[in-house]
Structure 1
C-alpha cells in the first residue's frame, strides 16, 4: 500500500515514521498491513456486514489471481494420487473468478470502479476519488452502496 509521507523511515515493526515540515517535528505512524477497508471498519465508517463482504470480495480477487503476476510461477508440481478429492487449483481459481465477476455485476457498472480500487487494489478513498475525478468525500457513500450490494450477493447478514 502506498502512502506518501515526508522523510519516510521504516522501523523494524514494519511501521513508517515521518517528520513534519517547517522545523516542527512530528511523528506519523502508518500500519502498512492495514487495508483501506479495515481502516474504515476500525474507525466505525463501515459496519461489520460491509467489512465482511469486502473481505470476501478481496479474497475471491486474490484466489482468482487477478492481480499482477511475476514472470515465473513457483507453484509446486501436483502429483495425483488415489486419495485426492475436491477441486484442483485451477478449478478453485475459476470458481473464485466466477464469484468475483458475479459480485461486481451485482454492484453495478457505476459502483465497480470505487469497489475495485479500494477493496482489491488497496487504494485509499482520497486517491480513488481523485483518480475517478469525483468530489472529495463522495467515495465513502458510493463505496457503502457498492459493499451493500456485494453483501447481498455473498448473502452476508
Structure 2
C-alpha cells in the first residue's frame, strides 16, 4: 500500500521520502497499517460524528452486542487477538495512529514521552503487526518448493513475444 493512500495522515507522512532520505516506514509497514485500519473500520469502534440519513439495517435496539453485525463482531475478535499478541505500548500506539488517526505529537504529549519517540514505537509495533500478518520487507518463498511451469517436461517455448 503506497504512502499516498494515507494522504496527510501521520502514516502517509512517515511513509514518504523527504529531501532524498528514505521513508521512515517501509511498504510492509504501510500494508500492515492498512489492514489494521480496515479491521478497525469494520469493527465500528470509532464513533460517528455525523448523522446518517440512510436506511437502518439493525433492529433498532442500538448499541447491543446482539444487534451488531457478524462482520463487526468478527473484526472485534480479530482486533482483540492482535491486541493480546503484540507488545502493550506498541499496540496502543499502533491503534491510536491507525484506528483513531492520532498524531505523533498528541501521543507523545498524552504519555509524557520525549519528542520523536512515538514514531519509533510505532515502527516497532508495525514490524510486529506485519510479522503477525505474514508480511516482510522482502518477498521470499519456500526453499523446498519445486519449479512449476505450464510447459510439459522437456518442452521449450518456440516463440518469444
Q: Name the structure 1 match of 2:14.
A: 40
Cα deviation for residue 77 of structure 1 reads 5.4
The verdict on how the C-alpha distance between 1:74 and 1:152 changes in structure 2, with shifts beyond 3 A counting, is farther
Q: Does 1:114 align with 2:93?
A: yes
For 1:124-135, what aligned pairs fall within 5 Å after superposition? 124-135=103-114
Q: Which has the higher strand share?
A: 1
RMSD of the alignment, in Å?
Answer: 2.3
* Unmatched segments (≥5 aa) in structure 1: 1-31, 79-88
The verdict on how the C-alpha distance between 1:75 and 1:109 changes in structure 2, with shifts beyond 3 A counting, is farther
TM (norm. structure 1) is 0.64
Q: Name the structure 1 match of 2:34.
A: 55
Supply the distance in 1 between the matched residues of 2:127 and 2:34 (Cα, whole angstroms).
13
Q: Name the structure 2 match of 1:143.
A: 122
Supply the distance in 1 between the matched residues of 2:135 and 2:44 (Cα, whole angstroms).
23
The verdict on how the C-alpha distance between 1:74 and 1:90 changes in structure 2, with shifts beyond 3 A counting, is farther
* Higher radius of gyration, 1 or 2: 2
3-state DSSP of counterpart to 2:33: helix
Runs of 4+ in 1 over 6 A off after TM superposition: none
TM (norm. structure 2) is 0.63
Check whether the contact 1:63–1:93 (CA below 8 A) recurs between aligned residues.
yes
Select between 58-67 and 108-117 the one with higher mean Cα deviation: 108-117
2:44 aligns with one of 44, 60, 65:
65
Supply the distance in 2 between the matched residues of 1:154 and 1:125 (Cα, whole angstroms).
24
